[in-house]
Amino acid sequence: MKTALDVRPSPIAGRWYPGDPQQLTAEVDRYIAAARPNLPPLEGEVIGLVAPHAGLPYSGPVAGYAFAAVEGKTPDVVAVLSPMHHPYPYPLLTTAHAAYATPLGEVPVAREALDAFQQALGEEIAAVANDPEHSLEIELPFLQRALGKPFRLLPLMMRDYRPQVCRAAGEALAKTLAGQNALIVASSDLSHYYPETVARPLDENMLARIAAMDPEAVLIAEAEGAGFACGAGPIAAMLWAAQRMGANKAVVLRRASSGDVLGDYSSVVGYGAVAVLRAG
């Protein structure tokens, strides 16, 4: 007898993005279509992405660039690494549910991959139910629309950004995904609430460090105030994993800010999209 999956209900549909499936489809498709003709050349296989995670009207135009870079791809497993913005007392977290719900349908959790990740990491990570975290979920409708077939999700949320934690997570992820048709998405916005004239150089510095595929430099930028990313840990972990999986190039696809949407540049949130590739 087939039983229904234990599904995490969306706490943000209808708030951070449209709750109506047709409206959500149209909006996501519009962002991807607008980005498609403006993508720089991408030679090689995309192994990882950096994508923003604000409310769809704000970061959607930049997120469209990230997901246009993998449009039509058919990974079996997608690992989404995000911050955990809420005060759970754990360094790494995942979902206790068997699937995530969005208005576009259910995304099943790759439980075998999650178990393998914990084994590779050498420790059990906290599994939480009904979490309110937006930064992982908001990438899912883009993946549901951009990818060429349904996928299984490996969800990881991070609160501890110490280099040794990020590196261990990245290396365990690479070991878990070795030999699989997989994609890794790091969910992160950039600087928060600086004037555009200050935010732009901070964001460009952070994006340059990501483009150099230097995860330690990403974490140092945050620590020294040379650049900011609320998902610096997920970005660093993604870079360590992607490098272990043969990635050797990163391309900045787009940088913008909330000021470009609101017209108010006095206090902005920065958004960036990056593709990490295994180039032949």
Chunked into runs of 10 residues, the chain (280 residues) has average pLDDT values of 73 97 98 97 96 97 98 98 96 97 98 97 95 98 98 98 98 97 98 98 98 98 96 98 97 98 97 94
pLDDT for the residue numbered 280: 75
Block residue for tokens 């995490």: 8
Of 119, 193, 186, nearest to 155 (Cα)? 186
pLDDT for the residue numbered 3: 46
Domain that holds residue 54: 7-37+46-278
**CATH of residue 106:** 3.40.830.10
Is residue 149 one of the residues assigned to a domain? yes
Residue 106, phi then psi, degrees to nearest 5: -90, 140
Is residue 51 one of the residues assigned to a domain? yes
Which helix (H) or strand (E) is 250 found in, with range?
Answer: strand 249-257
Residue 117, phi then psi, degrees to nearest 5: -60, -45
Of 226, 197, 198, nearest to 210 (Cα)? 226
pLDDT for the residue numbered 4: 58
Is residue 183 one of the residues assigned to a domain? yes
Name beta bridge partners: 252: 274
CA distance 244 to 179: 12
pLDDT for the residue numbered 28: 98
CA distance 76 to 60: 24
Alpha carbon separation from 49 to 27, 70, 96, 159, 210 (Å, rounded): 20, 9, 25, 20, 11
Block residue for tokens 């995860």: 215
State how many domains the chain has: 1
Is residue 2 one of the residues assigned to a domain? no
Q: In this structure, are residues 186 and 78 in contact, taking their beta carbons and an 8 Å threshold? A: no
Is residue 1 one of the residues assigned to a domain? no
